[in-house]
Each structure stands twice: as structure tokens, then as C-alpha cells.
Amino acid sequence: MKLGLNTAVIPAAGAADTAARCLEGGGLVAFPTETVYGLGADATNARAVARLYEAKGRPSFNPLIAHVGDLQAAKRIARFDDKSLRLAEAFWPGPLTLVLPKASGCPVSDLATAGLETIAVRVPAHPVAHNILRAFGKPIVAPSANISGHVSPTTAEHVFGDLSGRIDLIVDGGPVSVGVESTIVGCFEPPLLLRPGGLPREDIERVLGEKLARMPEDTGSAEALPLAPGMLASHYAPRTPVRLNAHRLEAGEALLAFGSRMIPGSEQASVMNLSEAGDLVEAAANLFGYLRELDARGSRAIAVMAVPNEGLGEAINDRLQRAAVPRS
């Protein structure tokens, strides 16, 4: 890894042209989307995509999401059928990624799609992302802007902490609003929920008029390569061990709380509350930032209170379960 790049941080206002020029030159640009900060590269430039994998330290079998400005641009890289079109029209721009067959003549580099016949496509809703996509005029691949295996960044500071010296530019648009990654739907027959995320499953099922099948549980090994390899079991990983479903706090543990109820043992402890009001949207927005903060406090473990598994709770629990997978 070549370190020592001079990573510039610029405010979002008026940044679109600078970002587009940087991408055009094969540069790596982190920018806010409504879900998490993305690390963008020119999707059609294999060298830029390779730099991106390198900067993230991401295993190269892990394909990337191509971000485009609107449905019309999405149709140039992917083939839509009746159902996928309905989803796109209902939820774009927004926190939904569709995995679709690649369109013939799709200009996105094979490296970005890890050689698959399918491509993950998303139209983000964040105005800064939208302006950059418009100024650039081509698809931008953008994984979350963190070192592979770390928690996803929800502020420009998180991005800087992970990637400074490894990327060219960070566009600072302040904290993001959703706080967990996009929901990924594989537009197969039947449609599959590949990753729960910022758009609740129930909303998608309502538009489809059918249930989404859940991907079979992965084992965390690359051999069992699932359809969404980013679902590898230890993908979301603080360094501190994470203990789920805590009803009481053990000595030396920090607490990630949810709701107004407090648990025994938490009086003297380091506590962060995802949402005192028990609001799952607020909790999702706080999740990664709070995990990072508790991780930095050097506790023996992070104990996490139960979060209801409905709406955005499904994505929150998915990320928490991954964070809790033991690591060697």
C-alpha cells in the first residue's frame, strides 16, 4: 500500500466540480450519501477501482455498488424487469440497492463487479452525492469509506481517521441522516433480501406484493461465497469484543443502551444510548458512531441491550451480530 497521499478535506458547498475532476483523473473521493459516507472511484476505470480496493484493504472478490444519478442512467448499466422497475420508481433516490443483470455494453469495469454477470446499482438521495454524480456524468462505484472490516463512517471525521493518506479527497457534508448502509435486494426469482439496511423490508414487500426471501445464513468463510460477499460474518468489527442481549453489566464493560430502561451494573459504566426514546431511526443513525466511540474507550467488552427486530431494527441487529462475531 502506497501511503502518504495528501488527503484534502473540503466543505460540500461547491465541491462537485472539484470532486468530478479528481474522479476523472482516476482519484479516490469520499463523499456523503444519506446512508453512510462512500469512497468513490470512476466505475469505468479499472485502475481507479483497483486503487480503491487497495485503499480499503478490501478483498477483491467483494463487488461494489455502482451509483448513478437517476433511473435513466441506471438503465445504461443494468437490465430492469417489471418488478425491479417498480422498486426503482418507488424508492429511488433512496437507501435501496438493486442487484440486476448487467446491461450489454455496460461500461462498468469487471473488477468493480468482481466478474459477476450481475451489477449492484443505487441512486443515492443525498444532495451532495447527487451533485457529484451529475458533475461527473458517469457511474461512480462507492463502498463505505472505511478500511475493510471497520465500521462504516457516518461523518467526514470517521473517513479521515480510517483513510487519510490513502485517498485523494474527502467532501465533508456533515453527519449522514440514515446511518446504516442501503438495503440490498437481489432481483432474482424470487427476489432476495441480500442485506437489510436503511429501507425497511416491509416497505419493499408492500410495493412488490410478495415476501422477500432471506439469503441463507453465511458461514463467514470466503468459500461459502454468498451472493453478497460483504455479508461475511465479521464484516462490521470494532476491536473490543461485543456482547449482545445484555440484561446486566459485568465489571469493566461499556454499555450500548437502547430505550429509557437501565440495566443493573450500568451506574458507574461508560454508557451511550442509541435512542433513549426507543426510536429505531435515531438508533440507526447513531449506531456506527457510538460503536466507534465505545471501542475507543478501551473497555473489556461492549455490552449491547436488545433492539427490537422490526423496521430498521433488522438492519441494526444484523450489524450488531456481525460486530459480535469473535475474532482471533
Q: Does 65 bind ligand TXA (CB under 6 A)?
A: yes
Binder to ligand TXA among 182, 266, 286, 317 (CB under 6 A)? 182
Q: Does 148 bind ligand TXA (CB under 6 A)?
A: no
Binder to ligand TXA among 27, 69, 93, 143 (CB under 6 A)? 143
Q: What angle do CA 239, 242, 245 make, to 5 degrees?
A: 170
Sign of the four-CA dihedral 221, 161, 315, 261: positive
Binder to ligand TXA among 93, 173, 229, 313 (CB under 6 A)? 229
Q: How far is the CB of 58 from Mg ion (least distance, A)?
A: 8
Which residues have CB under 8 Å from 139's CB, separation 6+?
43, 44, 66, 67, 68, 73, 77, 107, 108
Q: Does 43 bind ligand TXA (CB under 6 A)?
A: no
Binder to ligand TXA among 116, 208, 272, 306 (CB under 6 A)? 116
Q: How far is the CB of 123 from Mg ion (least distance, A)?
A: 18
Q: Does 154 bind ligand TXA (CB under 6 A)?
A: no
* Sequence-ordered alpha helix ranges (H) in 112-171: 127-136, 156-163
Which residues have CB under 8 Å from 83's CB, separation 6+?
187, 191, 208
Sign of the four-CA dihedral 57, 151, 130, 184: positive
**Do 238 and 320 touch, CB atoms closer than 8 A?**
no
Q: At how many degrees (to 10) do helices 16-24 and 127-136 cross?
A: 50
**Nearer Cβ to ligand TXA, position 63 or 289?**
63
Which strand (E) or helix (H) includes residue 230?
none
Q: Does 199 bind ligand TXA (CB under 6 A)?
A: no
Task: Locate 311 and state its grid cell.
Answer: 423496521
Q: How far is the CB of 176 from ligand TXA (least distance, A)?
A: 9
Q: How far is the CB of 269 from ligand TXA (least distance, A)?
A: 31
**Nearer Cβ to Mg ion, position 16 or 184?**
184
Q: Does 227 bind ligand TXA (CB under 6 A)?
A: yes
Q: How far is the CB of 171 from Mg ion (least distance, A)?
A: 18
End-to-end Cα separation, the chain, in angstroms: 24
Binder to ligand TXA among 78, 120, 169, 274 (CB under 6 A)? 120
Q: How far is the CB of 215 from ligand TXA (least distance, A)?
A: 9
Q: Does 155 bind ligand TXA (CB under 6 A)?
A: no
